[in-house]
Copies of this chain bind each other. A is one copy, B any other.
Amino acid sequence: MAAYAEWFPAGAVFLCVVDPGVGGTRPSMIVEADGRCYVGPGNGLFELVQRRARKARSWDIDWKPERLSASFHGRELFAPVAAMLARGEPPPGQSRTDDADRRPDWPDDLCEIVYADHFGNAMTGLRVATLPPGASLAASGRVLQRERTFSDRPSGAAFWYENSNGLAEIAVNQGRADRDLALAIGSRLEIVS
């Protein structure tokens, strides 16, 4: 989310729902970071956005809908609150004064596959700007060179490149990196410099 959010203008409101603890003890939160707002569970989902922001503050949501199920707060709680913010209403909650929702022990970058898209491209959690110049990535026992784009390599060849959000991504020209290199979410990588 931190990689994508910077494409959006100030004033944008993000409705964020990755919420395995829904209905449990995690707080319901609003975060404002560099002029953009985020509504969702306080389970670490906003950690990197907060950490990278020049200016951030947050609120605990205290608004409740008339009917709230235990398992679907995205629709029933977070979406109405995001709509309130998008309409220009003030955050319906109390300013958060401690950092109990923060995750200082989480890394800034993750040297793993974090997502495989519809085409089999395997996205890492590594910002290319943080890698040593000329670095290769080792995955599944293979060392992959960096290329600029797919067509810089022959059909069927694997490589890594900087994707359009600034993250390192592993791909195979006209193939599927997830299948050809046996990569899945959580597969570990090594940086070879």
Contact = CB atoms under 8 A, between A and B. Distances in A.
Interface of A is mostly: loop
Number of copies: 3
B149 A71 contact: yes
A76 interface: yes
A150 interface: yes
B71 A20 contact: no
A9 interface: no
- Interface size class on chain A is 20 to 34
Nearest to A171: B71
Contact of A164 (B25, B76, B161, B162): B76
Given A76-B164, A164-B76, A22 B149 contact: yes
A134 B25 CA distance: 24
9 contacts: A21-B150, A21-B151, A23-B151, A24-B150, A69-B164, A70-B161, A70-B162, A72-B164, A76-B164
Interface of A: 20-25, 69-72, 75-76, 148-152, 161-164, 173-174
